[in-house]
Structure 1
Amino acid sequence: MKMLIYLFVLVLPLACSQNKSISDTESYNESYEIQEIAEESEFRTFQNNTTKDTDYNTDQKLIKESYLEFETKDLDQTYAQITRFITENKGYIQDDTASKNYNRITRSLIIRVPNTHFQTTINSISQSVNYFDTKRMSSKDVTEEFIDIEARLKAKKALEVRYLELLSKANTVIEMLEIEKELSNIREDIEATQGRLKYLSHKVSLSTIRIVFYKTIVESKVTESYGSKMWLAIKSGFNSLSLFMLGVLKLWPFIIVIGISSFFFKRWLHKKSKK
């Protein structure tokens, strides 16, 4: 009888410990079942948002760009005209660069104008140009990418809300740390997605126009007459003679020494011949 009591005392704590372990495991499994449901909900949200175009603004999203290059006779006047066109179309100059080489002065502009005023600005500039060296326009349709990014962003935000709900129901420190880790990754994805969406929105709302205009510098060549050439030759000869005389004058000490030496040398030769 005593033996049975001892066995009961030993088995009872083990049974309680096992029940507690089972209870913790069930709680942990329940928490991650909620996590799986949240992930599955994210996938369903993304599918629904990408298939229902009516949930988003389906206006066509175009990134428009243009490159213009032409020659002008008056750089300042052309710059003033372009500046006026930009102001009229509510744009601004993003970059302004001037350069010069041996026969050309160049001005390069990068202009940003609202998408709705893109073609108007191009037409205004074209009216004042007789001939374009280069005139190029392009547009890139990013509507599908826009819808995809918006859907992903909405799904990520929904998943963030579900993970926050899951965090409030976490029972252990390990569960909290795991959920917070996933939340951190989700928030990084949300920030990156928002950044890409902001970049595309800026490129779509403001079109880019690159303008290069230049002026060719021609060296003037004056044709000289034959008489002018003769007169220049006489002047050149006179100048050369003057330079020669000035050079001789600089040598006067040597001339005096040579003259005196020659005088005494001749006297010596004359005396020697008489003997």
Structure 2
Amino acid sequence: MCMKTILTAFLLLFIPLACSNNAENSKNTYNSPEADTPVVLSKTLESQNIQSDTQNNLEQKLIKEAFLVFETQDLDKTFGQVVTFINNNKGYIQNDNSSKSYNRVSRQITVRIPTQNFQPTIDSISQSVKHFDRKNISSKDVTEEFIDLEARLKAKRELENRYLELLAKAKNVKEILEVEKELSQIREDIEAKQGRLQYLQNKVSLSTIHIEFYKTIATESGVTVSYAQKMWNALKSGFNGLSYFVLGLLTIWPAIIIIGFSIFMFRRWLKKRNK
């Protein structure tokens, strides 16, 4: 009975002391500089923010793009119609190119349109086109990447603030250099994620429509030329050749005068010599 009482008293004294020491160790570990390492900070902050932001940001992010190719009989009229559709839907032309081949004249334009007006613009163009050589509409869901980038960017900024606090508490040059090295890497990551996020935001808010319309030109192959037309063409060619010859002589008239004078003097010299 005595032994049991002593053992009970020992346990009652030991357990509170052990709990107090563990709590103190945990507190010291949290406040110690070793706990503020890049791996611990980045993993803790990023995992917490990704979980919370994934639950809060569930708006779907879609990148929409379309390719339209069709034939028209009037390029200028079709271009004017397309511009009207674009203006009505608050878009703008990003690129405008024209090209011409042996029997085809075409125009290619790239249009950026607010995503909410993407389908109305496609419908407006479709109503004025009888047949599409190509009509391809695609949609890419980037919601997951968008949310992940936002969460990681938030975590990196919080991590940057923690390192700025460590920099203020640095005691020597070595500690300052180590913290600044980590800060430099963190800021590079922030800039990269910001750039990617801005790119996605632009693609999501403004959809892209590639439009090509063309006109077929009739060729002159198979046309028979009459004999009289051939004679007239030959006379014109002869007259043109004679004109070119006369113009060539006029171009070198100083040389002709010098050569003629040289021949005249040479013949005169020969006559005197024969006498």
TM-score (norm 2): 0.68
Change (3 A) 1:222 1:44: closer
Task: Give me the whole-angstrom Cα distance separating, in 1, the residues matched to 2:42 and 2:219.
Answer: 72
Q: For 2:66 and 2:119, how far apart are their aligned partners in 1?
A: 10
Question: How does 1:87-126 map onto structure 2 within 5 Å?
Answer: 87-126=87-126
Structure 2: runs of 5 or more not aligned: 1-30, 239-275
Q: Tell me the CA shift for residue 57 of structure 1.
A: 2.9
Structure 1 residues 222-256: Cα deviation after superposition (integer angstroms, max 9, x where no partner):
988xxx958x38x949x88xx9xxxxxxxxxxxxx
Amino acid at match of 1:33: E
- Other-structure match for 1:84: 84
Pairwise CA distance, 1:33: 1.4
Q: Which residue of 2 aligns with 1:209?
A: 209
Q: Which residue type is aligned with residue 197 of structure 1?
A: L
Gap change, CA 1:222 and 1:50, over 3 Å in 2 = same
1:178-193 matches, cutoff 5 A:
178-193=178-193
- 1:190-230 Cα offsets, whole Å, 9 max, x none, are 11110110010001111010001000001368988xxx958
Match runs of 1:40-79 below 5 Å: 40-53=40-53, 56-79=56-79
Matches within 5 A, 1:153-172: 153-172=153-172
Please give the per-residue CA displacement for 1:89-135, whole angstroms capped at 9, x wherever unaligned: 00000000001011000100000001111001100000000000000
- SS of residue in 1 equivalent to 2:119: helix
Q: Structure 2 vs 1, CA of residues 34 and 51 (structure 1 numbering), >3 Å: closer, same or farther?
A: closer
Q: Which residue of 2 aligns with 1:35?
A: 36
* TM-superposed deviation, 1:159: 0.4
Q: Shift of the alpha carbon at 1:31?
A: 6.4
Aligned residues: 205
Cα shift at 1:43: 1.6
The residue type equivalent to 2:34 in the other structure is E
For residue 42 of structure 1, report the CA deviation from its aligned partner: 2.9
**Larger gyration radius, structure 1 or structure 2:** 1
CA displacement at 1:47 relative to structure 2: 1.4
Distance in 2 (alpha carbons) for counterparts of 1:56 and 1:148: 12
Q: Partners in 1 of 2:35 and 2:179 — Cα distance?
A: 11
Question: CA offset at residue 39 of structure 1?
Answer: 4.3
AA aligned to 2:108 is S
Structure 1 partner of 2:174: 174
Q: Give the conservation status (yes or no) of the 8 Å contact 2:89–2:113.
A: yes
Distance apart, 1:172 and its partner CA: 1.0
In structure 1, runs of 5+ residues without a counterpart are 1-29, 244-275
Cα 1:103–1:118, aligned 2, differ >3 Å: closer, same or farther?
same
**Structure 1 contact 65–208 (Cα < 8 Å) conserved:** yes
Give 1:45 shift: 2.3
1:46, distance to aligned residue in structure 2 (A): 1.5
Q: Compute the displacement of 1:74 (Å).
A: 0.3
Query: CA contact under 8 A between 2:54 and 2:147: conserved in structure 1?
Result: no
Where do residues 118-267 of structure 1 align in structure 2 (5 Å cutoff)? 118-219=118-219, 232=228, 236=231
Work out whether residues 34 and 166 of structure 1, in 8 Å CA contact, stay in contact via their aligned partners in 2. Answer: no
Aligned to 1:5: none
Post-superposition offset of 1:58: 1.7
Cα distance in structure 2, aligned partners of 1:195 and 1:103? 44
Residue 206 and residue 66 in structure 1: after superposition, are their counterparts in 2 closer, same or farther (change >3 A)?
same
For residues 185 and 106 of structure 1, the distance between their equivalents in structure 2, rounded to whole angstroms, comes to 49
CA distance in 1, matches of 2:231, 2:176: 99
Alpha-carbon separation, structure 2, partners of 1:100 and 1:222: 22
What secondary structure is seen at the aligned counterpart in 1 of 2:109?
Answer: strand
| Dislocated runs of 4+, deviation >6 Å | 221-224
Give the letter aligned to residue 101 of structure 1.
S
| Contact 1:56 1:147 (C-alpha < 8 Å) held by counterparts | no
Q: Does the 8 A contact of 1:42 with 1:158 survive in 2?
A: no
